[in-house]
Amino acid sequence: MTAATRAFRIAYDGREYAGFQRQPHAATVEGTLLRALSEHGIVDRGDGPTHATPPGYAAAGRTDAGVSAVSQTVAFEAPAWLTPRAFNGRLPGSVRVWAAADVGEGFHATHDAVSRTYRYHLFAPTEPEPASASATRDAESARGLGDRTRAEERASTADPAVPVPPAHDDRVRDALARLTGEHDFHNLTSDGTGTVRDLTATATRRGDTLVIEVTAGGFPRALVRRLVAAVRAVGRGTADRSLIDRLLAPDAIPGERGVGPAPPEPLVLWDVSYEGVAFDVDPEAAASARVALASATETRGTRPRRPERSATGSARGGVTTGIGMPTAIGVVTAIGTTETTAWTGAVRWPARRLASPSRRRAPVACCRRRSPRRRYRRSAVPWPASARR
């Protein structure tokens, strides 16, 4: 069987996975990919997700649990018949391969990447929000930013009639401008090494959403999410602009005044660039990815709520979709095209993370007997046959 090193572009809905990197006791994107390769007979089948890896295997990056991707890249020695369409034949709808490129021997998807781009889709309306809708998020995002007392006081005494000031674009962009350039980001990551990075950060408004785009050669752990948390605090006025200067200073910030990471669901690995590598889009595979990921958005991660709490600010029959996560509709326009538009649907900063269906526990037999419909009404998981009485 003739094999050549081939790189694949992969899009995935990360909400139902415990990150990209494979783990022995959790569902991950990488474990799903290797399981597909084992079912194709390309690698040896292992125990659970611990399948072998093909020769030359490497991935562009390791996204955290809940983080999605449009252009994650893996490369390995693959047989000529393994096209994106064939790869998808053994993959679930939440993981889709949509392009491939033959690369030279010795190509490494991690080390040969010139730059990586992430996009965080932050709900930031231009009009003031009612205090009751945003007080909890303010208190959560301000923790550790030196303004905890003010935010918690606002949350505890919130008057629904008193509007809360929205994020100001000029403050957000000023904070991002200060973060752009080569800095030591040791106060924005838990990593002890590799914290000096040359970074470019911008913000683009699309309706009620601020799309924060961050590009660098590589990223320490949780850097983008902590950066977004700091920028949002400055933009909303829950922290002073001098916070950015303190974060970039050589002195370490105490833990109680540090910046925690923003929620992972609105974060997307948007692009990974390589010098001299041109990916060929498989039109049918790209179409399959668009359909699968768009369908995933409509059927997973929904939760009954009042219409005014919808992620897009509009009522959808009393059901909110996409709270705490980006919708996959943007992948429909991004996969297989040169136009990388934003993911549609404004994303709120969730006060409480919404668990994906794969993380919800199935009701036990005794619960089904007592009240099966009540338990299943709260999730997007279909009722089992035994509960349909």
CB 321 within 8 A of CB 330: no
**For range 87-106, the mean pLDDT:** 93
Residue 26: DSSP 8-state: B
Residue 76 has pLDDT above 80, yes or no: yes
Tell me if the pTM is above 0.75: no
Q: For helices 131-142 and 223-236, give the axis angle rounded to 10 degrees.
A: 130
Residue 309 has pLDDT above 50, yes or no: no
**Average of per-residue pLDDT values in the chain:** 74
Residue 92 has pLDDT above 70, yes or no: yes
Residue 175 has pLDDT above 90, yes or no: yes
Please report the pLDDT score of residue 355 as a whole number: 36
Domains of the chain: 3-112+275-283 (3.30.70.580), 114-272+301-354 (3.30.70.660), 363-387 (no CATH)
* 147 belongs to the catalytic site: no
Catalytic pick from 64, 138, 147, 271?
64
CA distances from 366 to 88, 274, 362, 385, 388 (A): 39, 55, 12, 15, 15
**For range 23-48, the mean pLDDT:** 86
Lowest average pLDDT, out of 225-229, 315-319, 377-381, goes to: 315-319
Task: Find which of 2-6, 211-215, 348-352 is predicted with most confidence, using mean pLDDT.
Answer: 211-215
Round to whole Å and give the CA distance between 290 and 98: 10
Residue 204 has pLDDT above 80, yes or no: yes
